[in-house]
Amino acid sequence: MQHFAEEAKACERQNNRYTWLRLLIMIAAIVLGIVLYPLAIWLSVATVLVLLAVFAVCLKKHLANIERQQHKERLKIINQQELNCLEGDFSAYAPGTQYENPKHYYTSDLDIFGTYSLFRYLNRTTSPSGSDMLAGWLEKPAATAEIEARQQAVKELAGMVDLRQEMQSIGLKHKDVSKELAGFIEWLHSGAELSGRRRLLRTLQILPWITLATIIAAIAGWAPSVFVWLLVAVHFVLYGSLGKKVNFLHQQVSHKVEFISTYSELIRSVTGITFTSPYLVSLRNCLIESDALQQIQTLRNRIRKLDYRLNMVYIPVNMLFFFDYRHLVWLEGWRAFSGQKVPEWFDTMAKVEALSSFANMLHNNPDWATPKITDEYFTLEAKNAGHPLIPGKERVCNDFSLAGAGQIAIVTGSNMSGKSTFERSIGVNMALALAGAPVCASALSVSNCQLYTGMRVADNLEEHTSSFYAELKRLKQLIDITKDGQKAFFLLDEVLRGTNSRDRQTGSMALVRQLARQQVSGIIATHDLALGELEKELPHNVGNSHFDVQINGEDMSFDYKLHQGICTSLNASILMKKIGIEVS
């Protein structure tokens, strides 16, 4: 970060020198032009023109250096944010609240999206399509072959710090253009308004030259001026009749230069790199073979020319030659030829941005593992697995394994002992693994299946649903998807908490038996020690683990380590006493 700050300062000093140099050149042009004029007009004019050319070169270099300084400033910000992230502060990144969905299979329970979420921790996308792609990958397991291809790409991108930060810098440079996406997509799907009118187009191509020739003839005295005024009237009529459609179409594409420039620079950054991983090679080839960079740059330049119509000096020339109409006809032609490829370009760049986010996480955590994915149901073997959102200095990691269909782990423990955090650690790492990302573990092997959670269930006043009924609906969803033959892995916390203890125990045991019969594997965290007794009834399906608490009088300590067997220590009465409830 200090390196970029120093380079930005050097650029600032260079900018100051360019400012003074430009001023001196301009003063020299004025003074020499005046001094040399009495001696020789041609010498005066030539000197001024040479100095103006030097001024133009200096201006171009000055603008390039300003851009270089701004780029260094953005890189300084990017690296400062990364340092903050390593310290546990990742508030600078978008939280993805627009993707929150309480009815999703697992994203709400596992804090995949939201203010303090996995998405916010790893998100380094800068475009709306990149953000959507990353969110989509975290919401749904990919095919195993796709996951493995992403893993190779992530490993390669992890070492390409300059490329990844270059893409982020481009996004910060054009950070306000995302609102233009909807208008651009709307234009891509619009029908042709002008390009199909061939007779009108031929008329507008020939008429300006007839008018220009008539004006010259009238000035030379070869034709009466009335013909000029008649042709001018025709121009006004045509310009007025086309004006409404032209203005509407211009509004659709006008001010899209910054938006188009963003994708132009992003595409250039990717196509300018040689990759080795097959997935990145295919993404790059997709852009190169469709000539995406040239097409996008040509579109950007044409839109810039169209925006000239807003210049007062340009209006008379435009009325004579109908340049805005011709630009819009060209744009409609571009849309018909290249517009159908744009979604593919956006999709390609979105994948690169999502992969870059995973790669950045691996670069920041080089000790995290690339998981092994298998299609065989069911395998879960984790070594030193922890929660990625807990800072490394505070994180307690655990080993855990579950092998075979219908294997259910009952995790018991006292309050605050770490049961829920453990479940979320397993769930978040599975979500990462099935998206193609590295995981917060020294090793992880897991089956490719549907992750399902039931951990946070609340009532819904809008739907007139109690928390108990909401949980029943959630459990029914799990039963239904597994009945259909879909392979799933579940994480449940305090099953049926909304009813009395007897019904809760009876229902919980019945649920475990049914899930075991349906050959569904998962983890259930509970305070109900009676659930652990199912190990005797279902020895081939149920196993017990627990989190312990060490109690010394009214003092408690937790090691947050997973142990075998059923928990035997309880702490609810101690906690109640600490808040002032008198427990006899």
**pLDDT tens, per residue, the chain with 584 residues:** 667 777 778 888 888 888 898 899 899 888 888 888 788 888 888 888 888 888 889 988 898 888 888 888 888 888 888 888 888 889 999 999 999 998 899 999 999 999 999 999 999 998 888 999 999 999 999 999 999 999 999 999 999 999 999 999 988 877 666 666 667 777 777 766 655 666 777 776 777 777 778 778 878 778 787 777 777 777 777 777 776 677 777 676 766 777 787 888 889 999 999 999 999 999 999 999 999 989 888 888 887 777 666 666 666 766 666 777 777 777 777 888 888 888 899 899 999 999 999 999 999 999 999 999 999 999 999 999 999 999 988 999 999 999 999 999 999 887 777 888 999 999 999 999 999 999 999 999 999 999 999 887 654 544 445 666 677 788 888 888 887 778 999 999 888 776 666 777 888 888 889 999 999 999 999 877 788 888 888 989 999 998 887 765 556 667 888 989 887 665 444 444 544 545 55
- How far apart (Å, rounded) are the C-alpha atoms in residues 514 and 516? 5
Query: How confident is the model at residue 177, as a pLDDT?
Result: 61
What's the pLDDT score for residue 67?
Answer: 83
Tokens of 30: 């004025």
- Cα distances from 495 to residues 333, 475, 501, 510, in angstroms, run 60, 9, 11, 11
Q: Is 441 in a helix, a strand, or coil?
A: coil
Tokens 């579940």: give the residue: 490
pLDDT of 464: 42
Q: What is the DSSP code string of 295-333?
A: HHHHHHHHHHHHGGGGSGGGHHHHHHH-HHHHHHHHHHH
Question: Comparing C-alpha atoms, which of 157, 356, 373 is closest to residue 276?
Answer: 157
pLDDT number for residue 574: 45
109: closest CA among 561, 392, 523? 523
Query: For residue 575, what pLDDT is reported?
Result: 44
Q: How far apart are CA 31 and CA 130, in angstroms?
A: 55
Q: What is the pLDDT of residue 406?
A: 92
Residue 558 has phi, psi (to 5 degrees) of -125, 140
DSSP state of 409: E
The whole-model pTM stands at 0.83
Q: Report the distance separating Cα 237 and Cα 247, nearest Å.
A: 16
Tokens of 488: 């799933």
Report the pLDDT value the prediction gives residue 461, as an integer from 0 to 100. Answer: 43
Q: CA-CA distances (angstroms) from residue 158 to 63, 75, 246, 345?
A: 32, 17, 47, 23
Query: Torsion over CA of 81, 87, 89 and 90, rounded to 10 degrees?
Result: 50
CB 432 within 8 A of CB 412: no
Name every residue whose Cβ is closer than 8 Å to that of residue 109 and which is 6 or more positions away in sequence: 424, 427, 453, 454, 455, 456, 491
Residue 579 is predicted with a pLDDT of 45
The amino acid occupying position 366 is P
127, 266 Cβ separation under 8 angstroms:
yes
Phi, psi values for residue 407, rounded to 5° = -90, 125
The structure tokens listed for 126 are 């800068």
